[in-house]
Amino acid sequence: MKKLIYLTLMLIVIPTLIVSLIRPKEKDTIEKLYTFEKNTKVRVKRVNDNRIDTIPLEQYLVGVLSGEMPVSYEIEALKAQAVAARTYTLKKKETNKYNGFDVVDNTNDQVYLDDEYLRNNWGQNYETYIKKIKQAVNETRGEYLTYDGKIIKAFFFSTSSGKTENCKDVFGENLPYLVSVSSIWDENSPSYLDKKIYTKEEFYQKLNIPFNDNLDIEIKRNETNSIKTITINNTEIKGTDFRYELDLKSTNIDINEVDNNIEIISKGFGHGVGLSQYGAQEMALKGYKYDEILKYYYQGTEFKKI
């Protein structure tokens, strides 16, 4: 009888002890998550209105994902973009913590569209589209990328020229996780090729170079075939500056004189560093998961979860 009572007590007491040991940990985890999401907010400078909005991180990411990637893209591509955007944001919060704001709401950082804009823009499709965007954000909740234990600079862009760019060639910073990788499927993108034609007068004026009917051009290219520097009539210009002054879609260009005009054909769209958004879509269509996509474009990185 005593053995039976003892056994019964053991069956009651031991599970109770186990539960009591586990529950505080679960409670701590829930409280930490709640505290993080309550306190982690993003100070967004609304450029057009010249004001600062303070927005919870995950809510902010819904607006970024809506502004940065077509909602028609595959869910795995959208999830990859959500993690990249979250990582970018956390890095900006880290570097701008003593400044008046963390990010601006345009392409100088990340395009952010608020809910009112999305409702007006998407109209009757709003509920369907916002559900898909929120799914991508929620299914990657708290995830970000690190390298050597530090949050990475998660640059991203629209479409590559067939290869992504080395960070050192574009932003002048040699980062081991932002190196050139093949992205040949980007050639299917509608943004892959672009052509601009300028008169010689326009061409020289935009580059602030004295007019000369004789045009002498010398180009130095990097390993991805993008222009590193371009020398025009003895005036040397950085490839990135040349792109911005002429409003070109990329620095991977071919330039020709045609009928006394200047014709420039560019391949790709954007600075070319990090995640190719169109490449992410093509990889998702081929069956790759978001984590595989991100580890391909951000070499040697690791996932962390807040």
Give the model confidence (pLDDT) of 244-255 as tens digits.
999 999 999 999
Look at residue 40 in the predicted model and tell me its pLDDT. 86
For 164-204, the pLDDT digits (tens) are 999 999 999 999 999 999 999 999 999 999 999 999 999 99
> In 10 A of CB 297, how many CB atoms?
27
Contact 127, 139 (CB under 8 A): no
**Residue 232 phi, psi (nearest 5):** -120, 115
Contact 224, 160 (CB under 8 A): no
Q: Mean pLDDT across the stretch 7-29? A: 51
- Pairing outcome for strands 150-151 and 103-104: unpaired
For 20-43, the pLDDT digits (tens) are 554 555 445 444 444 445 568 999
pLDDT-based confidence at residue 239 (cuts at 50, 70, 90): very high
- Pairing outcome for strands 261-267 and 41-46: unpaired
Q: Which residues contact 89 (CB under 8 A, 6 or more apart)?
A: 42, 57, 60, 61, 64, 102, 103, 110
pLDDT-based confidence at residue 12 (cuts at 50, 70, 90): low
Record the pTM: 0.85
Look at residue 17 in the predicted model and tell me its pLDDT. 53
CA distances from 16 to 5, 7, 20, 22, 26 (A): 17, 14, 6, 10, 15
- Written as six digits, the tokens of 59 are 């809510």
Look at residue 203 in the predicted model and tell me its pLDDT. 95
- Domain residue spans of the chain: 40-153+289-305, 193-267
